[in-house]
Amino acid sequence: MTTLRLNANTPGDIARAAQLLRAGELVAIPTETVYGLAANALSEAAVAKIFAAKGRPQDNPLIVHAADAGQARPLVKAWPFTAQCLADAFWPGPLTFILPRAEHVPGIVSAGLRTLALRVPAHPAAQALLRAAGIPLAAPSANRSGSPSPTLTSHVLYDLEGKIAAVLGGGPCTVGIESTVLDLTSKTPLLLRPGGISLEQLEAALDCRVAVSPAVARALENDAPTPSPGMKYKHYAPRAELTLVHGSLQDFITCAEREQPDGVLVFDDDIIPENRAVLRYGDTPEQQARQLFAKLREIDELGWRTALVRCPSKEGLGLAVYNRLLRAASFREVN
C-alpha cells in the first residue's frame, strides 16, 4: 500500500481524507497533542485495522474523537454534570472523559470494556476533518505500539509507511503529549493519565478534589484491566534503555560518572561536562512536553543503547512529562 501525503491546509485534501475514513481506511491526522491514527469509530472492521497497523494489544482501549459535545454525547449512556462542566471549560482541547459506552459503539473500541474514552480535539485540521467526515473517529497515537508518540508527519511515516492509506500533514503538534484522561464513572473524578490539562486545572474547574490513580506513578498489577490508553507497563519507549534520575544537577552528573551511559537527556540550562553526549529537552514543562517524544526518537537515531534522563518537575504539566518518561524507562529510577 502506498501511503498518500495530504496537506491539512488544502480543502481538497481534507475532503479526500474524509472520503477515505468513510470508506473504512486509516488516516493519520494532526491533533494538538500528538498525531492520531484515525478510523471510523462506528465500524468494527475499520477499528480492527488500527490494532493491526500499530501492532497494538487488543486489551488497550482507544480514544474516540468527536467534532463537538453535540456529536460526543450520543456515544455514551450518561452525561453527568461534571462532564458538561469540564466540556465547557476545556473542549475542544486535550481532555478525555471516561463514560459509559453507548450500545451502538463497537466494543472493540473500548477493548471490551463497558466504558468509552471520548474527547473533542482542538487542532483546526482535526476539527475540519471531523466535520467533513461526519463520523466520530477512533484515534490512538499514529505510531508502532509502545514506541514514542509522533509529533511530526516524519515520525508517522517512519513507523507506518505502507500500512495506512494516508497521512494528513498539519505541522508540529503544539502540546506534544497525549490528552489527560479522567474517569467520570464514579462520584469522585479519577485521573487515569496526566496530559495536556493539569490536575490543578481540573480541580479548579470542578471546585473539588480529583483522585489520582496509583497507576500514574507505578505499573499496573499483572493482568489488571486497562481502563485508559497509556497505562501499560512499557510505553512511549525508544529502543535504548532509559533511567530516570531524581535530585540536583550535581547528583545527576555524579550518577552519569558512575553509570557511564551512552548519553544523557537534560534541561536546556544544565551545564554538563564536555566529554558527555548530550540531548536537551527544555527547561519548562511546556517546552519539555513539546520536545520529549522527538528527543526520545533522536536517542535511537544516535544509536545510544543506554541513557540517563534528568527527572522533570511533577507539578502542573510536569506530571504528564514525568509519567511518559517513567513508562519509557520501564519504571527504572534512581533517587
- Listing DSSP states for 95-116 in one string gives EEEEEEBPTTS-GGGGTT-SEE
Q: Are 75 and 190 in contact (CB under 8 A)?
A: no
Per-residue pLDDT tens digits of the chain, which is 335 residues long = 899 999 999 999 999 999 999 999 999 999 999 999 999 999 999 999 999 999 998 888 999 999 999 999 999 999 999 999 999 999 999 999 999 999 999 999 999 999 999 999 999 999 999 999 999 999 999 999 989 999 999 999 999 999 999 999 999 999 999 999 999 999 999 999 999 999 999 999 999 999 999 989 887 766 666 777 766 656 788 999 999 999 999 999 999 999 999 999 999 999 999 989 999 999 999 999 999 999 999 999 999 999 999 999 999 999 999 999 999 999 999 98
Range 4-216: architecture per CATH: Alpha-Beta Complex (3.90)
Separation of alpha carbons 127 and 137, rounded Å: 11
Residue spans in the chain of domains classed CATH 3.90.870.10: 4-216
Residue spans in the chain of domains classed CATH 3.40.50.11030: 241-334
- Please tell me whether the overall predicted TM-score, pTM, comes out greater than 0.75 for this model: yes
CA separation (Å) from 310 to 51, 118, 146, 243, 321?
Answer: 33, 33, 21, 9, 11
Separation of alpha carbons 16 and 285, rounded Å: 37
Place of cell 450500545: 103
Sequence-distant (6+) residues with CB within 8 A of 274 are none
Domain spanning 241-334 has what CATH number? 3.40.50.11030
